[in-house]
């Protein structure tokens, strides 16, 4: 019996409805396996701007720090229409996300990209390319690099000039590399470290630190790949990848590409971890403001993020497995939300998809 203290950040757009379904699944798991879960809802992003004028308050950070883990929906709105985007950059919804990552030291971002056999038709790659499917883990450094380096815009002699800086210390590289190799060890034991070492000093340091760390993991195969080549290889032969280890900006871009290659971004979870068991778990997709409140969003990525939370923050592998099995069972019965709908399947909304998954969690194996 475990007592879990979870902070929920429903956020904006479809966030509240998908988090609601993930909570229902967690409650069912708790009932079946005899755990107790206490939730506290916290505002972030546009939802916080509307109430407090800023995307993340110090109290919200303190609440998150005091919890065992954070389950998040999504934040942000329509950048061309929402008044949130009339605010200066540091007061917009996304600034809240960057702030919480830094404040909680969530340096390791895990983004699995899996081709579900049941959804193979949604994959935009030809059968000869996708072969028997693929299952990779993108490990993105999340609190360094261009995102957190000094930046400024100046005018010199009447000409505007903007500067962003890309800084990495060897400690920052080492700790994400260690996480990457640890995770590879639990998978297929291969790390592809992605950089731009043919141009950037930060990448040359990245490569040399990753090589040092690799010496401690003789059972894991390490290869280096340039980021432009990696972008190409992801659509040419995605099955070659096990763990992709990369810096913040490259990981942002490659993880979107990898999720598109699966064809079902509504299915992909993510975890952002620090060096303890604490983590923030959220779907890989965004807030989809155009369909917010319509009960048609896919809650599966959030439900699978809750499973990752049980696995990584609470070591509840059996419970996490049960959620993943329930999701697969529902897909096998051909239930689909609109985003993954295909011919011959039965379309359901967000709450019904959540209910079906919950229903499959009845029995304990
Ligand atoms: C992501 C998002 C964020 C990022 C944005 C919203 C700041 O794209 O989590 O990948 O770039 O990290
Ligand atoms: Mg992104």
3-state secondary structure 96-124: HHHHHHHHCCCCEEEEEEECCHHHHHHCC
> In the annotation, is 196 catalytic?
yes
Q: Which of 287, 275, 253, 263 is nearest to 138 (CA)?
A: 253
pLDDT for the residue 363:
66
**Cα 111 to Cα 70: distance, rounded to the nearest angstrom:** 16
C-alpha 252 – ligand 2 centre gap (Å): 4
Mutation pick for ligand 1 pocket among 97, 108, 142, 289 (CB with most ligand atoms within 8 Å)? 97
C-alpha 252 – ligand 1 centre gap (Å): 6
Residue ranges lining ligand 1, Cβ < 6 Å: 94, 97, 252
Mutation pick for ligand 1 pocket among 44, 56, 252, 284 (CB with most ligand atoms within 8 Å)? 252
Summarised one tens digit per residue, pLDDT across range 115-166 is: 988 898 889 999 999 888 999 999 999 999 999 999 999 999 999 999 999 9
> In the annotation, is 228 catalytic?
yes
Ligand lying closest to the C-alpha of residue 74: 1
For 34, phi then psi, to 5°, come to 75, 40
Of 147, 168, 217, 312, the catalytic one is 147
**Cα 9 to Cα 109: distance, rounded to the nearest angstrom:** 18
Neighbours of ion ligand 2 (CB under 5 A): 252
pLDDT for the residue 364:
67
Of 27, 78, 135, 256, the catalytic one is 256
Segment holding 359, helix H or strand E: helix 350-359
C-alpha 157 – ligand 1 centre gap (Å): 34
> In the annotation, is 33 catalytic?
no
C-alpha 28 – ligand 1 centre gap (Å): 31
Q: Which ligand 1 atom minimizes the distance to the CA of 252?
A: 10
**Cα 181 to Cα 15: distance, rounded to the nearest angstrom:** 32
**Cα 20 to Cα 28: distance, rounded to the nearest angstrom:** 13
Give the mean pLDDT per block of 10 residues along the chain (365 residues): 96 98 98 97 98 98 98 97 95 97 97 91 91 94 97 96 98 98 96 98 98 98 98 97 98 94 92 96 96 97 98 95 96 95 95 98 72
């Amino acid at each position: 019996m475990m007592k879990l203290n979870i902070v929920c950040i429903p956020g904006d757009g479809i966030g509240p409805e998908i988090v609601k379904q993930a909570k229902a699944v967690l409650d069912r798991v708790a009932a079946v396996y005899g755990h107790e879960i206490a939730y506290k809802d916290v505002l972030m992003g546009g939802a916080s701007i509307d109430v407090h004028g800023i995307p993340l308050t110090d109290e919200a950070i303190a609440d998150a720090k005091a919890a065992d883990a954070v389950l998040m929906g999504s934040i942000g709105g329509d950048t061309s229409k929402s008044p949130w985007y009339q605010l200066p950059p540091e007061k917009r919804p996304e600034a809240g996300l960057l702030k919480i990552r830094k404040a909680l030291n969530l340096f390791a971002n895990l983004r699995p990209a899996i081709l579900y056999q049941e959804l193979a038709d949604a994959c935009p790659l030809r059968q000869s390319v996708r072969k028997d499917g693929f299952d990779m883990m993108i490990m993105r450094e999340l609190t360094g690099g261009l995102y957190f380096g000094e930046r400024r815009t100046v005018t010199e002699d009447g000409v505007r000039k903007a500067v962003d800086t890309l800084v990495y210390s060897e400690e920052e590289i080492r700790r994400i590399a260690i996480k990457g190799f640890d995770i590879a060890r639990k998978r297929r034991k291969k790390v592809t470290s992605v950089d731009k070492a043919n141009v950037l000093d930060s990448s040359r340091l990245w490569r040399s630190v990753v090589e040092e760390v690799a010496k401690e993991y003789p059972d894991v195969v390490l290869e280096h790949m340039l980021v432009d080549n990696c972008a190409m290889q992801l659509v040419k032969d995605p099955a070659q990848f096990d763990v992709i280890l990369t810096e913040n900006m490259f990981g942002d871009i490659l993880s979107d590409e990898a999720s598109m290659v699966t064809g079902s971004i509504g299915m992909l979870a993510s975890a952002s971890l620090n060096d303890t068991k604490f983590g923030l778990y959220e779907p890989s997709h965004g807030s989809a403001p155009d369909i917010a409140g319509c009960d048609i969003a896919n809650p599966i990525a959030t439900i699978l993020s809750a499973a990752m939370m049980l696995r990584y923050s609470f070591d509840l592998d059996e419970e996490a497995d049960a959620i993943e099995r329930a999701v697969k069972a529902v897909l096998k019965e051909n239930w689909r939300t609109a985003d993954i709908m295909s011919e011959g399947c039965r379309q359901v909304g967000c709450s019904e998809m959540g209910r079906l998954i919950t229903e499959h969690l009845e029995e304990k194996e």
